[in-house]
Amino acid sequence: MKRSRRQFLKVASLSVAGLGAQLAAGGVTKAAAAVKPSYKEDALALKAKRWAMVIDTREFASKEDFDACINACNFAHNVPEIPGKTEIKWIWKDAYEHTFTETTNKYQSKEIEDREYFMLCNHCENPPCVRVCPTQATYKLENGIVAMDYHRCIGCRFCMAGCPFGARSFNFTDPRPYIKEINPKFPTRMIGVVEKCNFCVERLDEGKLPACVEAAPGKIHFGDLSDPESEVRKLLEENYTLRRKPALGTEPGVFYII
Protein backbone atom coordinates (compact mmCIF):
# COMPACT_ATOMS: atom_id res chain seq x y z
CA MET A 1 0.00 0.00 0.00
CA LYS A 2 1.29 3.35 -0.93
CA ARG A 3 0.65 6.36 1.28
CA SER A 4 1.00 9.94 0.28
CA ARG A 5 2.77 12.43 2.49
CA ARG A 6 -0.59 14.19 2.94
CA GLN A 7 -2.32 11.05 4.23
CA PHE A 8 0.49 10.33 6.68
CA LEU A 9 0.36 13.84 8.13
CA LYS A 10 -3.42 13.61 8.58
CA VAL A 11 -3.22 10.39 10.56
CA ALA A 12 -0.23 11.57 12.60
CA SER A 13 -1.78 14.90 13.60
CA LEU A 14 -5.10 13.27 14.52
CA SER A 15 -3.43 10.73 16.76
CA VAL A 16 -1.34 13.42 18.51
CA ALA A 17 -4.46 15.55 19.08
CA GLY A 18 -6.35 12.54 20.46
CA LEU A 19 -3.52 11.64 22.81
CA GLY A 20 -3.26 15.24 24.02
CA ALA A 21 -7.02 15.47 24.66
CA GLN A 22 -6.94 12.26 26.66
CA LEU A 23 -4.05 13.48 28.81
CA ALA A 24 -5.76 16.83 29.41
CA ALA A 25 -9.06 15.18 30.37
CA GLY A 26 -7.24 12.84 32.74
CA GLY A 27 -5.50 15.80 34.35
CA VAL A 28 -8.77 17.64 34.84
CA THR A 29 -10.56 14.73 36.49
CA LYS A 30 -7.52 14.07 38.68
CA ALA A 31 -7.41 17.71 39.84
CA ALA A 32 -11.10 17.63 40.68
CA ALA A 33 -10.61 14.52 42.81
CA ALA A 34 -7.76 16.11 44.80
CA VAL A 35 -8.39 17.75 48.16
CA LYS A 36 -9.50 21.36 47.87
CA PRO A 37 -7.98 23.24 50.75
CA SER A 38 -9.53 26.33 52.22
CA TYR A 39 -8.42 28.56 55.04
CA LYS A 40 -10.16 31.02 57.26
CA GLU A 41 -9.42 33.31 60.16
CA ASP A 42 -10.12 32.33 63.74
CA ALA A 43 -13.50 33.72 64.78
CA LEU A 44 -11.90 35.13 67.95
CA ALA A 45 -9.06 36.89 66.10
CA LEU A 46 -8.39 40.50 67.15
CA LYS A 47 -8.25 42.81 64.18
CA ALA A 48 -6.90 46.30 63.56
CA LYS A 49 -5.77 48.49 60.70
CA ARG A 50 -2.62 49.51 62.56
CA TRP A 51 -1.59 47.83 65.78
CA ALA A 52 0.27 50.08 68.19
CA MET A 53 1.60 49.90 71.72
CA VAL A 54 1.63 52.60 74.40
CA ILE A 55 4.02 51.97 77.29
CA ASP A 56 3.37 53.95 80.47
CA THR A 57 6.99 54.34 81.58
CA ARG A 58 5.92 55.94 84.88
CA GLU A 59 4.60 52.57 85.99
CA PHE A 60 7.87 50.70 85.58
CA ALA A 61 10.21 51.21 88.50
CA SER A 62 11.48 47.97 89.98
CA LYS A 63 13.34 45.12 88.34
CA GLU A 64 10.29 42.91 89.01
CA ASP A 65 8.08 45.22 86.95
CA PHE A 66 10.31 44.75 83.93
CA ASP A 67 11.05 41.07 84.51
CA ALA A 68 7.36 40.14 84.59
CA CYS A 69 6.99 41.25 80.96
CA ILE A 70 10.38 40.03 79.78
CA ASN A 71 9.85 36.56 81.26
CA ALA A 72 6.32 36.31 79.88
CA CYS A 73 7.63 37.13 76.39
CA ASN A 74 10.64 34.84 76.67
CA PHE A 75 8.48 31.90 77.68
CA ALA A 76 5.78 32.58 75.06
CA HIS A 77 8.33 32.66 72.25
CA ASN A 78 11.12 30.38 73.47
CA VAL A 79 13.60 33.24 73.61
CA PRO A 80 16.97 31.95 74.84
CA GLU A 81 18.92 33.73 77.56
CA ILE A 82 22.43 33.80 76.15
CA PRO A 83 24.92 35.88 78.15
CA GLY A 84 27.28 38.31 76.46
CA LYS A 85 27.34 39.91 73.04
CA THR A 86 25.49 37.11 71.28
CA GLU A 87 22.35 37.66 73.37
CA ILE A 88 18.88 37.35 71.84
CA LYS A 89 16.45 40.16 72.61
CA TRP A 90 12.73 40.43 71.95
CA ILE A 91 11.85 42.88 74.69
CA TRP A 92 14.50 44.38 76.96
CA LYS A 93 15.22 47.50 79.01
CA ASP A 94 17.82 50.22 78.75
CA ALA A 95 18.70 53.70 80.00
CA TYR A 96 17.08 56.98 78.89
CA GLU A 97 20.00 58.17 76.77
CA HIS A 98 20.10 54.87 74.88
CA THR A 99 16.36 54.82 74.31
CA PHE A 100 15.72 58.42 73.27
CA THR A 101 19.04 59.26 71.65
CA GLU A 102 17.71 62.39 69.94
CA THR A 103 16.13 63.99 73.01
CA THR A 104 18.93 64.11 75.55
CA ASN A 105 18.81 67.66 76.81
CA LYS A 106 20.91 69.07 79.60
CA TYR A 107 19.48 69.63 83.08
CA GLN A 108 16.46 67.38 82.55
CA SER A 109 14.32 65.87 85.26
CA LYS A 110 16.60 63.51 87.14
CA GLU A 111 13.74 61.11 87.67
CA ILE A 112 13.10 60.79 83.93
CA GLU A 113 16.80 60.41 83.12
CA ASP A 114 17.29 57.72 85.73
CA ARG A 115 14.25 55.74 84.71
CA GLU A 116 14.71 52.62 82.58
CA TYR A 117 12.69 52.06 79.41
CA PHE A 118 11.41 49.03 77.55
CA MET A 119 12.72 48.49 74.07
CA LEU A 120 11.29 46.15 71.47
CA CYS A 121 10.66 46.03 67.75
CA ASN A 122 8.82 49.23 66.83
CA HIS A 123 6.80 47.64 64.01
CA CYS A 124 7.48 50.69 61.86
CA GLU A 125 5.14 51.91 59.17
CA ASN A 126 8.15 52.22 56.86
CA PRO A 127 10.28 49.34 58.05
CA PRO A 128 13.83 49.46 56.67
CA CYS A 129 14.34 45.79 57.59
CA VAL A 130 11.58 44.78 55.17
CA ARG A 131 13.10 46.84 52.35
CA VAL A 132 16.50 45.24 52.65
CA CYS A 133 15.47 41.61 53.20
CA PRO A 134 16.53 39.75 50.03
CA THR A 135 14.26 36.73 50.61
CA GLN A 136 11.10 38.42 51.92
CA ALA A 137 11.57 36.49 55.17
CA THR A 138 10.60 39.75 56.87
CA TYR A 139 7.42 41.38 55.67
CA LYS A 140 4.77 43.82 56.78
CA LEU A 141 1.28 42.50 57.43
CA GLU A 142 -1.83 44.48 56.57
CA ASN A 143 -2.41 45.20 60.26
CA GLY A 144 0.95 46.97 60.52
CA ILE A 145 2.89 44.18 62.21
CA VAL A 146 6.37 43.52 60.86
CA ALA A 147 6.50 39.74 60.90
CA MET A 148 9.08 37.11 60.07
CA ASP A 149 9.01 33.73 58.39
CA TYR A 150 12.03 31.96 59.85
CA HIS A 151 11.82 29.27 57.18
CA ARG A 152 12.94 31.82 54.62
CA CYS A 153 15.62 33.60 56.63
CA ILE A 154 19.09 32.95 55.20
CA GLY A 155 20.90 34.81 57.98
CA CYS A 156 22.39 37.56 55.81
CA ARG A 157 21.76 40.10 58.61
CA PHE A 158 20.92 42.97 56.21
CA CYS A 159 17.87 43.60 58.40
CA MET A 160 20.08 44.01 61.44
CA ALA A 161 22.07 46.63 59.58
CA GLY A 162 18.86 48.25 58.38
CA CYS A 163 17.06 48.43 61.73
CA PRO A 164 17.89 51.71 63.50
CA PHE A 165 16.56 50.39 66.82
CA GLY A 166 18.74 47.31 67.36
CA ALA A 167 15.60 45.27 67.66
CA ARG A 168 16.97 42.26 65.81
CA SER A 169 19.19 39.51 67.14
CA PHE A 170 21.19 36.89 65.29
CA ASN A 171 21.50 33.29 66.43
CA PHE A 172 25.26 32.77 66.49
CA THR A 173 24.79 29.41 68.21
CA ASP A 174 22.03 26.84 68.58
CA PRO A 175 19.63 28.61 70.96
CA ARG A 176 17.97 25.47 72.37
CA PRO A 177 20.41 24.80 75.25
CA TYR A 178 19.86 28.37 76.50
CA ILE A 179 16.08 28.15 76.74
CA LYS A 180 15.12 27.65 80.38
CA GLU A 181 11.74 26.03 79.76
CA ILE A 182 10.61 25.21 76.25
CA ASN A 183 7.06 26.22 75.39
CA PRO A 184 5.72 23.34 73.26
CA LYS A 185 3.19 25.62 71.58
CA PHE A 186 5.76 27.82 69.81
CA PRO A 187 8.81 26.86 67.76
CA THR A 188 12.36 27.78 68.73
CA ARG A 189 14.80 29.20 66.24
CA MET A 190 17.95 27.58 64.82
CA ILE A 191 21.53 28.68 64.37
CA GLY A 192 21.92 31.21 61.54
CA VAL A 193 18.60 33.02 61.58
CA VAL A 194 17.66 36.49 62.78
CA GLU A 195 14.77 36.92 65.19
CA LYS A 196 12.77 39.70 66.81
CA CYS A 197 9.53 40.64 68.55
CA ASN A 198 6.46 39.77 66.47
CA PHE A 199 3.90 41.85 68.45
CA CYS A 200 2.48 38.43 69.43
CA VAL A 201 0.78 38.08 66.06
CA GLU A 202 0.12 34.40 66.84
CA ARG A 203 -1.74 35.40 70.02
CA LEU A 204 -3.73 38.21 68.34
CA ASP A 205 -4.85 35.73 65.69
CA GLU A 206 -6.43 33.60 68.40
CA GLY A 207 -7.97 36.50 70.28
CA LYS A 208 -5.36 37.13 72.97
CA LEU A 209 -3.44 40.32 73.73
CA PRO A 210 0.38 40.24 73.54
CA ALA A 211 2.16 38.42 76.36
CA CYS A 212 3.88 41.55 77.73
CA VAL A 213 0.58 43.48 77.75
CA GLU A 214 -1.08 40.64 79.62
CA ALA A 215 1.81 40.51 82.12
CA ALA A 216 1.56 44.25 82.89
CA PRO A 217 -2.14 45.12 83.10
CA GLY A 218 -2.71 48.87 82.94
CA LYS A 219 0.98 49.58 82.28
CA ILE A 220 1.33 48.58 78.64
CA HIS A 221 -1.60 49.33 76.36
CA PHE A 222 -2.29 47.81 72.97
CA GLY A 223 -4.79 48.78 70.33
CA ASP A 224 -5.70 50.12 66.91
CA LEU A 225 -3.93 53.37 66.10
CA SER A 226 -6.25 54.06 63.17
CA ASP A 227 -9.37 53.96 65.36
CA PRO A 228 -10.00 57.34 67.08
CA GLU A 229 -12.08 55.58 69.75
CA SER A 230 -9.40 53.10 70.73
CA GLU A 231 -7.70 53.06 74.10
CA VAL A 232 -4.29 53.83 72.66
CA ARG A 233 -5.57 56.89 70.78
CA LYS A 234 -7.19 58.24 73.94
CA LEU A 235 -3.96 57.73 75.88
CA LEU A 236 -2.00 59.53 73.18
CA GLU A 237 -4.40 62.48 73.35
CA GLU A 238 -4.24 62.70 77.13
CA ASN A 239 -0.53 62.14 77.73
CA TYR A 240 2.74 63.46 76.39
CA THR A 241 4.43 60.65 74.51
CA LEU A 242 7.75 60.06 72.78
CA ARG A 243 8.77 57.66 70.08
CA ARG A 244 12.28 56.45 69.41
CA LYS A 245 14.23 58.23 66.62
CA PRO A 246 11.20 59.87 64.96
CA ALA A 247 13.42 61.96 62.66
CA LEU A 248 14.33 58.85 60.67
CA GLY A 249 10.77 58.70 59.34
CA THR A 250 10.21 55.01 59.98
CA GLU A 251 7.03 55.88 61.95
CA PRO A 252 7.40 53.54 64.94
CA GLY A 253 4.31 51.93 66.41
CA VAL A 254 5.57 51.93 70.00
CA PHE A 255 4.82 55.06 72.07
CA TYR A 256 6.23 55.96 75.48
CA ILE A 257 4.27 58.00 78.03
CA ILE A 258 6.92 60.05 79.81
Partner 1 sequence: MYNSKYVISGLVIFLAVFSYPFWGNLASKDYTGPKLSLPADQKQCIEPVEFMRAEHMTLLNQWRDSALRDGKRVYVASNGATWEASLQKTCMSCHTNKAEFCDTCHLENAVEPYCWTCHVPPKGNE
Using CA atoms, how far residue 88 sits from 26, 46, 75, 184, 227, in Å, is 53, 28, 13, 19, 33
Residue 256 in contact with residue 241, Cβ under 8 Å? Answer: yes
x/- string (CB under 8 A) for partner 1, residues 115-154? ------------------------x-x-x---x-xxx---
* Among residues 51, 56, 70, 78, the one that binds partner 1 under rule CB under 8 A: 78
Tell me the number of residues near partner 1 by CB under 8 A: 31
Q: Would you tell me how many other CB atoms lie within 10 Å of the CB of residue 231?
A: 13
Residue 147 in contact with residue 163, Cβ under 8 Å? Answer: no
Min dist CB 176 to partner 1, Å, is 9
- Candidate segments 91-99, 200-208, 224-232, 234-242, binder of partner 1 by CB under 8 A: 200-208
DSSP 152-214: T-----HHHHH-TT---EE-SS-SGGG-SS--TTS----TT-EE---TTHHHHTTT---HHHH
Q: Which is nearer to partner 1, 1 or 34 (CB)?
A: 34
Residues from 159 through 198 that contact partner 1 (CB under 8 A): 182-190
Work out the angle at residue 14's Cα, subtended by the Cα atoms of residues 11 and 18, and round it to the nearest 5 degrees.
140
* Among residues 5, 6, 30, 40, the one that binds partner 1 under rule CB under 8 A: 40
Residues from 216 through 255 that contact partner 1 (CB under 8 A): none
110 lies in the site for partner 1, by CB under 8 A? no
Contacts with partner 1, residue ranges (CB under 8 A): 34-42, 45, 78, 139, 141, 143, 147, 149-151, 182-190, 201-202, 205-206
